[in-house]
Amino acid sequence: MRYYVSKMETQGERRMHVVSRAPFDTATRQFPNQAAALDDVYRTLKRENYTSPDEMKKRFASLDRMKYREKWWVIDVGGGNLRVMFFADFERGKIFIKHITTHAEYDKLTDFYRRTKE
């Protein structure tokens, strides 16, 4: 088995670790018209290293903080048709996808998290 090691990784720079691709695969089946946009977001998150939300916002202009959960962030996908909600640990370079959903479902989730304390 061959392993690909990028030039970036051999020079000591790290990339973000998206802990699981499964939420993207599920969302692609659920929203097939947004498959290319979802794949682009996944690949971009894995390919780059973000040490802060400000750095990530340079690539994802729609990045917003999810105010009812600490270290949760939201990105619009596919022209604003979907929202990717995730926990980001910028210090460790890890991203945990929590939800990929429509705006209507996002509003329901936001209401739930507003009423439910961490």
What digits encode the pLDDT tens for the residues 68-103? 999 999 999 988 899 999 999 999 999 999 999 999
Query: Tokens 């993207």, residue?
Result: 24
Q: Give the number of C-alpha atoms closer than 13 A to the C-alpha of residue 105, restricted to the C-beta side.
A: 9
Specify if 9 maps to a domain. Answer: no
Specify if 94 maps to a domain. Answer: yes
Any idea what the CATH number is for the domain that residue 65 is in? 3.30.2310
Compute the distance between CA of residue 37 and CA of residue 35 in angstroms, rounded to an integer.
6
Compute the distance between CA of residue 117 and CA of residue 72 in angstroms, rounded to an integer.
14
Specify if 28 maps to a domain. Answer: yes
Compute the distance between CA of residue 37 and CA of residue 20 in angstroms, rounded to an integer.
17
- pTM here is 0.84
pLDDT band at 118 (very low <50, low <70, confident <90, very high): confident
Q: Say which residues have a Cβ less than 8 Å from residue 106's Cβ, sequence separation at least 6.
A: 74, 83, 85, 99
Q: Give the number of C-alpha atoms closer than 13 A to the C-alpha of residue 93, restricted to the C-beta side.
A: 10
Specify if 1 maps to a domain. Answer: no
Domain containing 53 equals 14-115
Specify if 65 maps to a domain. Answer: yes
What digits encode the pLDDT tens for the residues 3-36? 343 334 434 567 889 999 999 999 999 999 999 9
Closest CA to 14 of 87, 89, 92: 92
**How many domains does the chain fold into?**
1
Specify if 83 maps to a domain. Answer: yes
Specify if 6 maps to a domain. Answer: no
